[in-house]
Amino acid sequence: MDGGIIEADGVVAVVRLDDLSAAVPLTEALVAGGVRAVEFTFTNPTAARAIEAAAAALGDQALIGAGSVLDPETARTAILAGARFVVTPTLGLRTIELANRYGVPTVIGALTPTEILAAWEAGATYVKVFPASLGGPGYFKDVLGPLPQVKLVPTGGVTVENAADFVRAGAVAVALGGNLVDAKSVAAADWGKITGRARALVEAVAGAREGSRG
């Protein structure tokens, strides 16, 4: 499975926008800032087209994924459009099964320790703790005490400012939506602002990892 970029870089950009017509330049701006894993959510009906366009334009420069996937049928649509990882907001066991059949990594939504372990035992590549703002970094530390083998990714309430705290608490990566990719900057085609934000985020994660190793 090719989800290694998620763990290597430690950052996933969540693109949840009403207008995905700028999917390609947006992805280019994120990649320029060091964020190579980019997720387009299926809350937008044109997500599959955005995935196809970004995957075709960026090739191996980016890992394009599908978010807000609620069922295996949507997962299959996304994979056929070029998605190389699949993200669910909740514990989607059938989606894990479908994605594993295609050899595509998954980031499966969960919140409680029971849900987190269920996702992991079902074959999730990563478990997305959502909303991460509910328990904060301390919750990650507590969960990983008895479940150190699980690869956790926080989303929902993660910012450039607190991303390092989640990494220090044991998260293998962080996922950011509006705090990284905001509709106003995209509408204004302010790609420099998004690149700068991406770069700051990547540096924060890398710094937290260095500190943990030290």
Is 128 an annotated catalytic residue?
yes
Express each pLDDT in 52-95 by its tens digit.
999 999 999 999 999 999 999 999 999 999 999 999 999 999 99
pTM of this structure: 0.96
- Which residues are CB-contacts of 85 (< 8 A; sequence separation ≥ 6)? 3, 6, 37, 39, 63, 65, 66, 104, 105, 106, 107, 125
Helices of type H across the chain: 4-9, 23-32, 47-58, 72-81, 93-102, 113-121, 136-144, 163-168, 183-187, 191-213
What is the pLDDT at residue 60? 95
The answer to whether residue 1 scores a pLDDT higher than 50 is no
Express each pLDDT in 6-37 by its tens digit.
999 999 999 999 999 999 999 999 999 999 99
Is 73 an annotated catalytic residue?
no
**Whole-Å CA distances, 175 to 67, 95, 102, 149, 172:** 11, 20, 23, 20, 10
Q: Which of 28, 39, 52, 151 is catalytic?
A: 39
Q: Which residues partner with 110 through β-bridges?
A: 129
- Domain residue extents for the chain: 4-209
Q: What is the CATH T-level fold of the domain 4-209, as seen in this structure?
A: TIM Barrel (3.20.20)
Tokens of 86: 């699949």
Express each pLDDT in 102-153 by its tens digit.
999 999 999 999 999 999 999 999 999 999 999 999 999 999 999 999 999 9
Q: Which of 28, 52, 128, 151 is catalytic?
A: 128
